[in-house]
Amino acid sequence: CVCVHACVCAFVRVLYRPSPCSSLPFQGGCTFDDGPGACDYHQDLYDDFEWVHVSAQEPHYLPPEMPQGSYMVVDSSNHDPGEKARLQLPTMKENDTHCIDFSYLLYSQKGLNPGTLNILVRVNKGPLANPIWNVTGFTGRDWLRAELAVKFLVCAFLKYNTGSAGVVSLPCSPHFLRLGDVEVNAGQNATFQCIATGRDAVHNKLWLQRRNGEDIPVAQTKNINHRRFAASFRLQEVTKTDQDLYRCVTQSERGSGVSNFAQLIVREPPRPIAPPQLLGVGPTYLLIQLNANSIIGDGPIILKEVEYRMTSGSWTETHAVNAPTYKLWHLDPDTEYEIRVLLTRPGEGGTGLPGPPLITRTKCAEPMRTPKTLKIAEIQARRIAVDWESLGYNITRCHTFNVTICYHYFRGHNESRADCLDMDPKAPQHVVNHLPPYTNVSLKMILTNPEGRKESEETIIQTDEDGTLMFIISGGGGGRGLRGPRMTSFLH
């Protein structure tokens, strides 16, 4: 090792304990007395420069003030900023938390910057993510000590080479209980709760680390007891792009703790691909098939609803459905409806957007009845006008209908006439012309729509006399109207 101007020297003596805060002796570990190979440490192949082994048994060329013993050292002088030397520790394959206890110092001469020592934790050959612990700049000539509490859950078991085992009396760094996966529906807030154990742990730096390197700050911490606390991390209104692996990291002066990676699973609330299908139609009902077997999004579906409204209306009604078909009742005849299906999966915000609509019309219903008495708008000598205002939709129960007026009358001994006239159903009045004056005419109205016909009762109307004059004579004490003599007009 040529360490002339600046050195980063890390003595890495790693020891393992199955349970972090037990006072059990370390179960494994390694010193560098027999070289890095014996400990299964190796130089990363994809870095820029090398770590070098220093052995207590062999002569080396370090400045005399540097520590004695066996350790790994890296000379960071003559390297550009950003260049890296990476030493890989053996893979940890046991379940539960590992405590890694190590000593380090960053040394430099003449006030030079020795660089940064970073600790990274990679899970299952995944990305390196951000450091869980780092130290920058000159740290002095004495060894400093740090511990890492790393939480893993893997299935293979590997026996480590044992080196000299020791007992550490210090409690381990804050460490995490197993972090569980979080599943939410898209659009909801997701919360990871990290539970950490360790003395004074609540004062440590804490964050949630996403696999891609993004750090999420702590939202809330809460003491559970004097040795345990919970930290919450909130991801606001998550989408599919937030789905990833996350882990808790804590850092104190003494060391770092990192949890296992847990998954954020973002589910997409389900939505039918196709509109509902029409199975049957009547004047006041629609029978539909929900047609919700093909969906966009995630299941399982725990609720199906039918949402419908009049195309021209503003209100909407929603009904839960637990059969493949559904009958919408009490609808208006000859009216267009828009029907959609809503699907819900478990969890808050599990209802998806409505599927595409079925737009369909109910059939006409049989006319209710015609008005009991025809509303006469105008009586003249030779014509009678019937008001049709009284024929509202609630009577015709169809938007297409025909109106016929039939009339008959007798005049003198042998003159009679009977006829039926088709009326313009949309005209403001239905007029019967060419009637004789001063004659009792019997009228009735017939309402026809595609579903049926209804007739009104007959109404007898007496046509006016031709050219009637009125003489008004005022008597004493009170006004009294008298009808004057009849005059026959010759205008017609």
Ligand X SMILES: *[C@@H]1O[C@H](CO)[C@@H](O)[C@H](O)[C@H]1NC(C)=O
Give the interface with ligand X as residue ranges (CB under 6 A): 95, 131, 134-136, 153, 155, 157, 188-189, 236-237, 349, 392, 394, 402, 414, 422, 438-440, 448-450, 462
Q: Cβ neighbours of residue 376 under 8 Å, at least 6 residues apart?
A: 384, 385, 386, 387, 459, 461
Q: Report in angstroms how near the CB of residue 486 gets to ligand X at its nearest.
A: 12
Sign of CA dihedral 37, 41, 45, 50: negative
Asked if residues 150 and 234 have their Cβ atoms less than 8 Å apart, the reply is no
Q: Report in angstroms how near the CB of residue 401 gets to ligand X at its nearest.
A: 6
SS3 label, residue 240? helix
Asked if residues 136 and 81 have their Cβ atoms less than 8 Å apart, the reply is no
Give the CB-side neighbour count of residue 282, counting CA atoms within 13 A. 8
Report how far residue 354's alpha carbon sits from residue 339's, in angstroms, rounded to the nearest whole number: 10
Cβ nearer to ligand X, comparing 162 with 189: 189
Q: Report in angstroms how near the CB of residue 414 gets to ligand X at its nearest.
A: 4
Q: Report in angstroms how near the CB of residue 235 gets to ligand X at its nearest.
A: 9
Q: Report in angstroms how near the CB of residue 328 gets to ligand X at its nearest.
A: 22
Cβ nearer to ligand X, comparing 62 with 423: 423
Cβ nearer to ligand X, comparing 299 with 450: 450
Cβ nearer to ligand X, comparing 325 with 390: 390
Q: Cβ neighbours of residue 196 under 8 Å, at least 6 residues apart?
A: 174, 175, 176, 177, 204, 206, 228, 229, 230, 231, 248, 250, 257
Cβ nearer to ligand X, comparing 293 with 488: 488
Q: Report in angstroms how near the CB of residue 293 gets to ligand X at its nearest.
A: 29
Neighbours of 35 (CB within 10 A): 13
Q: Report in angstroms how near the CB of residue 363 gets to ligand X at its nearest.
A: 13
Cβ nearer to ligand X, comparing 197 with 252: 252
Cβ nearer to ligand X, comparing 335 with 439: 439
Report how far residue 8's alpha carbon sits from residue 77's, in angstroms, rounded to the nearest whole number: 9
Strand partners, 245: 263
Report how far residue 334's alpha carbon sits from residue 112's, in angstroms, rounded to the nearest whole number: 89
Cβ nearer to ligand X, comparing 280 with 392: 392
State the amino acid at position 184 in one-letter form. V
Report how far residue 37's alpha carbon sits from residue 112's, in angstroms, rounded to the nearest whole number: 31
Q: Report in angstroms how near the CB of residue 226 gets to ligand X at its nearest.
A: 26
Report how far residue 11's alpha carbon sits from residue 31's, in angstroms, rounded to the nearest whole number: 9
